[in-house]
Amino acid sequence: MPMPKIIVLGAGLGGTIAAYEIRDAVKGKAEVMVVNDQDDYWFVPSNPWVAVRWREPEAIKVHLPPIMKRKGIGFTSIGARRVHPAENRVELNDGTSLAYDYLVIATGPELAFDEIEGLGPDGYTQSVCRTDHAVHAADAFDRFCQAPKPIVIGAAQGASCYGPAYEFALILDTELRRRKIRDRVPMTYVSPEPYVGHLGLDGVGDTKALLESELRNRHIKWITSARITRVEDGTMHIEEVAEGGTVTASHALPFGYSMILPAFRGVSAVHGIEGLTNPRGFILADKHQRNPTFRNVYSLGVCVAIPPVGPTPVPVGVPKTGFMIESMVTAIAHNLALELAGKEPEEEATWNAVCLADFGDGGVAFVAQPQIPPRNLNWSSSGKWVHLAKIGFEKYFLHKVRRGTSEPFYEKLAMHALGIRKLRFK
């Protein structure tokens, strides 16, 4: 009898680690295969550094096929055209299909630049959402520095990832001071967040005061509850929105350089599948990370549907941070092992958040347990140590990916010593 087949769809931060951890958890009782649209893994949290040439792209790349082969994990980079959950198969971009017994969706998002006229690398703003975008942004920044003008950094309405926007604004401030041209560059931070430091989480600890202080000390103005209506070459049109949807102010912000994080939506391979996704194309999941309709489909990471923490004048999404995603991975790996043993899934991810936001010469860190309020722990801090910790984390995580390891013993020991767990107590 052939072994059950588990397909992991996507090989980003969550999917790659999921393949390793699931392979170890099922202990040879199932075949594990990864379907991705390229051969390489990119450490996305370092993209803001790539965009100012503090990192070369090759330094944050891992070539996956030989690692997957060494781990006994199947791998293809043909990519998925469409998931057919009622038929238990994934249709690939070359027209062939792969059957599965269990599917783990870890695709990440589709970047919705097209929802705002003029937004994105094909329009008039830059992006750090992908490493190739960050390379393009670095080239544009080099040109900008030859003739400095105002800068606008931030996130579009409906965005669900705000840490990189704050990071990049403050990294640019650091780099411009190093180049001795900061005095020639007015900067503005623009966001749908109702206040600075909201982060899509209604704040964590004192992030409001910490981030306001950072922006103020670095002479970066801000506009919150902001809705970008369109972007033209050198001008961004923004509306400030109050409770009830009333527009209280309109701005035409001039810029010579801009990086705006877009809203996300589900990828086309899953978008519009009734019972699998919500209207934005995000995967519906229960407390065990399992789809309520298609019970052999699990999901993790940015592709998972999570409702906002509360109403805001402008739509604000919820971020899926690294440790939160890793907790989903661990829950899925344990639940798949239970299913293969003929038992029902019982493990739940804690969704705890541990985040390091680097500013080049300092940073802000926060821990939220769990990420969604109300919380058992709500802590934030700042200092030079955050910058050093982010460098260490980059090296450590890339080491994990290159070794084909999900969670070394010393990581588990350290996190448990800090009281930060991936699985909920039963």
Question: Is 127 in contact with 231 (CB distance < 8 Å)?
Answer: no
303 part of the active site: no
Is cis: bond before 279, omega within 30 of 0? no
Q: Is residue 103 part of a domain?
A: yes
Q: Is residue 376 part of a domain?
A: no
- Output Rg (C-alpha) for the chain, integer angstroms: 21
Query: Which secondary-structure segment (H or E) carries 151?
Result: strand 151-155
pLDDT at 424: 82
Q: Is residue 364 part of a domain?
A: no
Same-domain pairing of 148 and 241:
yes
| pTM greater than the 0.85 cutoff | yes
Question: Is 182 in contact with 340 (CB distance < 8 Å)?
Answer: no
Tell which residue, 310, 323, 315, 308, has the closest CA to residue 370.
323
CB contact burial 390-414 (16+ within 10 A = b; e otherwise): beebbeebbebbeebbbbeeeeeee
CB contact burial 95-110 (16+ within 10 A = b; e otherwise): eeebebbbbbbbbbbb
For CA atoms 237, 243, 245, 247, the dihedral sign is negative
> How much helix, strand and coil, in percent to the nearest 5, is found in the chain?
30, 25, 40
Residue 413 confidence class, pLDDT cut points 50, 70, 90: low
Query: How many structural domains are present in the chain?
Result: 2
Residue 189 confidence class, pLDDT cut points 50, 70, 90: very high
The enclosing domain of 338 has a CATH number of 3.50.50.100
Same-domain pairing of 77 and 142:
no
Query: What tokens does 201 get?
Result: 């989480």
Same-domain pairing of 199 and 303:
no
Of 263, 291, 326, which residue is a domain's last?
A: 263
DSSP string, 84-135: EGGGTEEEETTS-EEE-SEEEE---PEE-GGGSBT-STTTT-B--SSHHHHH
pLDDT (mean) for 16-21: 97
129 part of the active site: no
Is the per-residue pLDDT at 397 higher than 80? Answer: yes
pLDDT (mean) for 74-78: 98
CA distances from 368 to 324, 365, 375 (A): 10, 10, 7
pLDDT (mean) for 343-352: 95
Q: Is residue 394 part of a domain?
A: no
Is the per-residue pLDDT at 248 higher than 90? Answer: yes
What gap in Å lies between CA 94 and CA 78, rounded to an integer?
7
pLDDT (mean) for 24-49: 97
Is the per-residue pLDDT at 409 higher than 70? Answer: no
Residue 422 confidence class, pLDDT cut points 50, 70, 90: confident
Same-domain pairing of 163 and 272:
no
Residue 412 confidence class, pLDDT cut points 50, 70, 90: low
Q: Is residue 94 part of a domain?
A: yes
pLDDT at 342: 96
pLDDT at 416: 60
pLDDT (mean) for 52-75: 98
Q: Is residue 399 part of a domain?
A: no
Mean pLDDT score of the chain, rounded to an integer? 95
**Identified catalytic residue from 129, 145, 161, 303:** 161
Is the per-residue pLDDT at 238 higher than 60? Answer: yes
Question: Is 104 in contact with 300 (CB distance < 8 Å)?
Answer: yes
Is the per-residue pLDDT at 274 higher than 60? Answer: yes
Is the per-residue pLDDT at 395 higher than 60? Answer: yes
- How many residues are recorded in the chain? 426
Residue 410 confidence class, pLDDT cut points 50, 70, 90: low
Residues 6+ apart with CB under 8 A from 326: 14, 17, 406, 407, 422
Express each pLDDT in 351-393 by its tens digit.
Answer: 988 888 899 888 999 888 988 888 988 888 999 999 999 999 9
Same-domain pairing of 147 and 224:
yes
pLDDT at 373: 87
Q: Strands 297-299, 151-155: parallel, antiparallel or unpaired by DSSP?
A: unpaired
**Identified catalytic residue from 129, 145, 303, 355:** 355
Q: Is residue 242 part of a domain?
A: yes
Tell which residue, 119, 131, 111, has the closest CA to residue 13.
131
Domain that holds residue 312: 5-110+265-349
Residue 414 confidence class, pLDDT cut points 50, 70, 90: low
Q: Is residue 97 part of a domain?
A: yes
pLDDT at 252: 98
Same-domain pairing of 16 and 74:
yes
Same-domain pairing of 142 and 159:
yes
Question: Is 257 in contact with 70 (CB distance < 8 Å)?
Answer: no
Backbone angles phi, psi at 348, to 5 degrees: -125, 135
Same-domain pairing of 175 and 297:
no
pLDDT at 243: 92
pLDDT at 91: 98
pLDDT at 208: 95
Express each pLDDT in 296-338 by its tens digit.
Answer: 999 999 999 999 999 999 999 999 988 899 999 999 999 999 9
